[in-house]
Amino acid sequence: MEAVLAHVRSATTMPTYDFVDVVKHEDRCGWQVKSTKAGTPVTWKRAKIPNATSLIKASKKSAAGLQQLGNAIIEFCNAHAHESLSKYDLDEIGYSRLIIHKDGHVTYFERLLCTRESPRLFNPHDFKWKWSHPKHTIKKEQLPALHGTHKPTGEKWWAWHGLGENQLHFSGEAAWWPQPRSHHVVTFKLPTGDEKISFEMFAELLSHLDLPT
C-alpha cells in the first residue's frame, strides 16, 4: 500500500516506525497508511509509555490512577503524530485506508487527520478506562489488557497490552471511515482466481511499458 500510494502521489515511502508512512515533501503532506480486513483492529504500534510501571501500579489502586494511565496512552498517540509533523516539516497528515470486506469488495479512501494548526488527534477526556479480565486458553493464560471506551459512543476504541509486549490496538478507527455513498470513496471487487496474475507476469507487463526514468 505504501509503495502504491507513493507511486500515485509522486511521494516517498518512509522505512521507519514514524506515524507517517509516505511523505510528499514539496507539498509538505504525509500519510498514515493502513490496509486490513474490515473487522480487524488496527495496530497503532508498540506503545512504550514513560513511567509505565508506576502508572500501571497506580491504575490498579484508584480511578484517578486508571485515568492517568489512559491519558498517557492518548498523549502518546498525539505525540506520535506531532513528531512526524515536526520531523518532516509537514503542514498536514492524511489517512490512506484500504478495507477488505467479507463479501469480496474493497473500499479505499483518503481523509485529513491533523494539521500543524490542529495537531491533536484525540482528547484524553473523551475516554474512560478499565483493565480486562485475564483470558484462559488451552495453551496459556492471556494477560489483562487496558481497554479504553469512547464516552460519546460507548464503544471500545483501545486495547493496550502494557503487561506484555505493549501492543496498542485501535478498534475505534472505524469512526474515521466515510459515510455510505460518500463521494470520497473508491469501491471495487477483489479479482477472482481466474482474474489474478502472478507477480512474474505483472513484472513482465511492466517491462514493456514506456515509463519515464
Lowest mean pLDDT among 20-24, 41-45, 95-99, 120-124: 41-45
> What is the average pLDDT score of the chain?
90
How do the residues of the chain divide into helix, strand and coil, expressed in percent and rounded to 5? 30, 30, 40
Q: Is 27's pLDDT higher than 80?
A: yes
pLDDT of residue 213: 44
Closest CA to 162 of 58, 63, 12, 18: 58
Whether residue 145 is predicted with pLDDT greater than 80 in this model: the reply is: yes
Arithmetic mean of pLDDT, 58-75: 97
pTM: 0.85
Spatial separation of the C-alpha atoms in residues 57 and 162, rounded to whole Å: 12
Per residue in 157-205, pLDDT tens? 999 999 999 999 999 999 999 887 778 788 888 877 777 778 788 777 7
Could you give the C-alpha distances from 196 to 107, 135, 190, in angstroms and in order? Answer: 19, 41, 9
Q: pLDDT for 76-135, tens place per residue?
A: 999 999 999 999 999 999 999 999 998 889 999 999 999 999 999 999 999 999 999 877
What is d(CA 37, CA 100) in angstroms, rounded to the nearest whole number?
A: 4
